[in-house]
């Protein structure tokens, strides 16, 4: 496969951009080799600067649930751009998207738009601390809630990929009130809550972990978190930046039947443009300025391009049978990869939840960050990644990331992917 143009572009980018990329995992450090510079996308496919074509399972790390350059999204964004891209003033499109979100998620009675998932989680935790008048926050090792200082404690995503336990530049005081415990371990949560009695403002969790690789919650885990939060007067915050409108029409909270106090959203709700949000019970959200004293603002929050793209996306995926189809495609890939690995005598743990899927090169079950780091063979994943890339399948350039499907992925793409996987497992 020809990659010389991508190599040239990457070399040039490194003269002007730290590491040549604007988000670390894009640099292929977790798998080695030359990152592909993409020129355009269409449906389920990416096309790079060398003219190579790939079936895409990264999908901009989750937002593109309709696929690349969906005609409706292109039309609404183009139409809005011709009328203006940003006003710094309210628009009706903000209310329209807010209505779509609150209708799909009953736990979200009011919603505030921001521009990134990091902003959403950071703002939700500020709100939780103000509402409860407590400082400490429980998070889970391997769960990634953005790059705010307080969250870079045993974080997943690119931090896991690069092997960074924390980040330089984060002072100890910034993380002093962040308590990290293992995912899928209720006993550990209860012990910390008892140790820090009346001090914990919130428990924040990815209800389906997607930033240590795809790790679903164990049966009863999310229900248990709800009960523990209630017992200790802490708020339960679901970081659904990844799972929102991905695993079910109403997110993981609908899928698992657990009601959080606050919800963080992103990715899908922007339709491929920068948009995120946080929301929850009215009495809590009314504390946000200008309704209340908790300050949060953003120049491009609720920008009209992202609002119309997000609204068009949520309307499209509200059609009957959409999530059944998405879940079916992800399950086909999960089961097909598992069967191909077994036939090749390759240890593999594969899983899917809604339109999210993923796999670990591991013989033992993966239930948390510690077992992912201990059992997952990242070197083997890197070899497999490049074998798939050479066959025209674009997976996440890291063992510790989830994969996604879109409505543009049809039987033909699935069949081709599984045939490529069978060859790659044997390679």
Cα 4–9–12 angle (5° rounding)? 125
- Whether the Cβ atoms of residue 275 and residue 307 lie closer than 8 Å to each other: yes
| Catalytic residue, candidates 144, 221, 369, 381 | 144
Indicate the helix (H) or strand (E) that contains 350: strand 349-353
Q: Is 194 a catalytic residue?
A: no
- Whether the Cβ atoms of residue 94 and residue 307 lie closer than 8 Å to each other: yes
Q: Is 267 a catalytic residue?
A: yes
| Catalytic residue, candidates 136, 183, 185, 267 | 267
Distance of CA 281 to the CA centre of its chain: 23
Residue 46 DSSP class: E
Place of tokens 């009346």: 198
Residue 19 DSSP class: G
CA distance 325 to 407: 8
Q: Tell which residue, 251, 280, 227, has the closest CA to residue 356.
A: 251
Number of Cβ atoms within 10 Å of the Cβ of 286: 13
Q: What is the CA radius of gyration of the chain?
A: 21
Q: Is 239 a catalytic residue?
A: yes
Torsion angles phi and psi, residue 154, rounded to 5: 45, 50
DSSP 40-91: EEEBTEEEETTS-EEEESSGGGTT-TT-BT-HHHHHHHHHHHHH-S--SS--
Indicate the helix (H) or strand (E) that contains 104: helix 92-104
| Catalytic residue, candidates 239, 256, 261, 369 | 239
CA distance 42 to 56: 10
CA distance 209 to 334: 16
Q: Which residues are catalytic?
A: 144, 239, 267
């Amino acid at each position: 496969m020809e990659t010389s143009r991508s190599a040239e572009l990457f070399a040039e980018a490194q003269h002007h951009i730290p590491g040549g990329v604007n988000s670390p995992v894009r640099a292929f450090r977790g798998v080695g080799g030359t990152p592909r510079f993409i020129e355009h996308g269409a449906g389920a496919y990416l096309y790079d600067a060398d003219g190579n074509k790939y079936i895409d399972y990264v999908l901009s790390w989750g937002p593109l649930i309709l696929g690349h350059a969906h005609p409706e999204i292109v039309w609404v964004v183009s139409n809005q751009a011709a009328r203006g891209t940003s006003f710094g003033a309210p628009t009706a499109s903000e209310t329209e998207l807010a209505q779509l979100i609150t209708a799909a998620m009953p736990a979200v009675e009011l919603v505030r738009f921001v521009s990134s998932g990091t902003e959403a989680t950071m703002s939700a935790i500020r709100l939780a601390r103000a509402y409860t008048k407590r400082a400490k926050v429980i998070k889970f090792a391997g769960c990634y809630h953005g790059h705010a200082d307080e969250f870079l404690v045993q974080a997943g995503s690119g931090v896991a990929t690069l092997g960074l336990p924390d980040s330089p530049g984060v002072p100890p005081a910034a993380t002093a009130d962040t308590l990290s415990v293992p995912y899928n371990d209720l006993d550990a949560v209860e012990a910390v809550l008892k140790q820090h009695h009346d001090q914990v403002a919130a428990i924040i969790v990815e209800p389906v972990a997607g930033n240590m690789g795809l790790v679903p919650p164990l049966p009863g885990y999310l229900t248990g978190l709800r009960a523990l939060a209630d017992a200790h007067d802490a708020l339960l915050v679901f970081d659904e930046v990844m799972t929102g409108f991905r695993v079910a029409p109403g997110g993981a909270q609908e899928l698992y039947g657990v009601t959080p106090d606050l919800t963080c959203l992103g990715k899908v709700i922007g339709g491929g443009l920068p948009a995120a949000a946080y929301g929850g019970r009215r009495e809590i959200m009314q504390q946000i300025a200008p309704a209340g004293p908790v300050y949060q603002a953003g120049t491009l929050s609720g920008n009209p391009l992202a609002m119309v793209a997000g609204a068009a996306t949520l309307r499209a995926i509200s059609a009957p049978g959409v999530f059944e189809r998405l879940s079916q495609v992800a399950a086909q890939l999960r089961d097909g990869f598992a069967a191909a690995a077994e036939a090749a005598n390759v240890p593999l743990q594969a899983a899917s939840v809604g339109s999210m899927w993923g796999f670990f090169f591991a013989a033992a079950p993966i239930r948390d960050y510690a077992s992912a780091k201990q059992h997952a063979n990242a070197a083997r994943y890197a070899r497999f990644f490049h074998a798939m890339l050479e066959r025209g399948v674009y997976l996440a350039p890291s063992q510790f990331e989830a994969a996604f499907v879109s409505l543009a992925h049809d039987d033909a793409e699935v069949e081709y992917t599984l045939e490529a996987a069978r060859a790659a497992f044997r390679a």
